[in-house]
Amino acid sequence: MAAHPLADGAELLNIGQVLDLLRPDFPGLISIPKIRLLEDDGLISPERTPSGYRKFSQADVERIRYILRMQRDHYLPKKVIAEHLDAIDRGLEPPAPAPVVPTVPTVAVASDGTPSAESFRRTDNLRLSRKELIKIAEVSDELLTELEDAKLIVPVRGHYDTDALVIAQTARELAAFGLEPRHLRGMKAAADREVGLVQQIVAPQLRANDPAARARAEETAAEVAALSVRLHATLVKAGLRRS
């Protein structure tokens, strides 16, 4: 957004008038101290009256609007915004800001490509909205609904975690081969049986009223789960080689 020169005879605005113009579009983000700080940072340069009062042109207002939009919508730091403004001042188009999407944890895998015990112990606080999950996983709303109907993905209090993201992405890739969520119910049933097996193994430790025992149970569950997935993957691989 290039700054436009002030039209002849256009009235300059004081800082309060600028605030009144911008506050409806940026509630809670704009204030008089914020405008002063933008000047201190060299991002804007309003005129000064002989008495030292700031006077803003329409170009100054649009410049502030651009800064606030980049901060609010794209979380750009001031240093990057300053580079954008420099490009604008030199008659160039500023670079398009990259889409803002949540950064998701990387699932730990073993050297053979199967999940490690660490990945089963992994915990994170990732919470995605339905809209975010659809965007990041690159799935349709219809596919996500089918995955939920098949109980492959179960939101928790309206949010989706890392596992839901991986399941959605994998289901999308499988769909390219004609496998629909209804075809994946067997995989879900097999996974539930493996979960039941792991739970049987650690049940005695979980019944102990001892934090150390519970910690050992978590470690055991992670290790057995990783071994179970490794065995399952190897059996599938071996079966395909024999076919």
pLDDT at 210: 80
Per-residue pLDDT of the chain (243 residues; tens, 9 = 90+): 333 334 445 689 999 999 999 999 998 889 999 999 999 999 999 999 999 999 999 999 999 999 999 998 888 889 999 999 999 998 888 888 776 665 665 666 777 778 888 777 766 678 889 998 998 889 999 999 999 999 999 998 889 988 899 999 999 999 999 999 999 999 999 999 999 999 999 998 888 878 888 888 888 998 999 899 999 899 989 999 987
- What is the pTM for the complete model shown? 0.56
The C-alpha angle with vertex 168 and arms to 166 and 173, in degrees rounded to 5, equals 95
- The residue among 18, 96, 19, 97 whose CA lies nearest residue 58 is 18
Cβ neighbours for 198, distance < 8 A, ≥ 6 positions apart: 221, 224, 225, 228
Taking the C-alpha atoms of residue 208 and residue 210, their distance in angstroms, rounded to an integer, is 5
pLDDT at 61: 96
Q: What 8-state DSSP symbol labels residue 209?
A: S
**Cα atoms found within 13 Å of the Cα of residue 105, Cβ hemisphere only:** 17
**CATH ID of 15-89, from 1.10.1660.10, 2.40.240.10, 3.40.33.10, 1.10.510.10:** 1.10.1660.10
Cβ neighbours for 240, distance < 8 A, ≥ 6 positions apart: none
- Name the β-bridge partners of 200: none
The C-alpha angle with vertex 23 and arms to 21 and 24, in degrees rounded to 5, equals 90
Taking the C-alpha atoms of residue 55 and residue 45, their distance in angstroms, rounded to an integer, is 9
- Dihedral of CA atoms 156, 160, 165, 169 in degrees, nearest 10, equals 90
Look up residue 199 and give its amino acid. Answer: Q
| CB count in 10 Å sphere of residue 66 | 19
